[in-house]
Amino acid sequence: MKPTLTIEQLCIEAAQFADLESTYDEPTLYGVTDGKAVGTYLEQKFSAYLNETYDCQSGNSASGIDFPGLEVDIKVTSLKQPQSSCPFKSAAQKVFGLGYHLLIFVYDKYDDPSRRTGRLNMQHTIFVDKDRTADFQTTTGILDILSRDGNKDDILAFLEDRNLPVDDIGADQLADRILDSPPNQGYLTISNALQWRLQYRRVIQQAGNISGVIRVR
């Protein structure tokens, strides 16, 4: 019987995997500039690496994340432009977080023309707790308003200024939720789009310095 994968073991294995990957020359990556293709390659390889040792609950299209049993989604991004997309569920994600943890692999790709291989030099491996996956500026603004005795009207005005993708009824419900249960400080930058655009420069900078944003490697 294989042991069940835990978040702690996932992070340990991610660090070891990143070390190994940084020394591996892959012919199929030579000349590849499509970040999505690189991400698919690395995610599939990491999943196969884990399945050799652990009983893993694989992701599916319904859950939308890689390890639904652990509430963890894997993100792979280039150091040159550390960002990726994720499904949009509701405007509340920008305030209260995505609803799941992130394991982020940040690579710097190198091609060797003489050997016609590509290598992913893994620069950062970071775990972001789901409580820290909200938008930095949005949560900063809301927490500042609340610290200065802000009321519902103040929150509604702020949400309107931030152009959150929500109608008047949704904004009213979101404001009530914020007042009842203030959000945690988030550390992602989340841009409005048909899919959320997640940007990771801040978590790269802050990893290991704040709770919930862990430098795995």
Domains, in order of start, for the chain: 7-81+99-132+207-215 (3.40.210), 136-180 (no CATH)
Q: Which residues of 41-72 are buried (b: 16+ CB within 10 A; e: fewer)?
A: bbbebbeebbeeebebeebeeeeebbbbebeb
Strand order from edge to edge, sheet including 189-191: 83-86, 196-199, 189-191
Calculate mean pLDDT across residues 148-168. 95
Calculate mean pLDDT across residues 192-197. 82
When the pLDDT of each residue in the chain is averaged and rounded to a whole number, the result is: 93
Helix H or strand E segment including 126? strand 117-128
Percentage of the chain beyond pLDDT 90 is: 89
Q: If we measure between CA atoms, which residue out of 118, 108, 103, 41 comes closest to residue 80?
A: 108
Helix boundaries (H) for the chain: 7-21, 35-51, 92-96, 136-147, 152-161, 168-180, 201-206
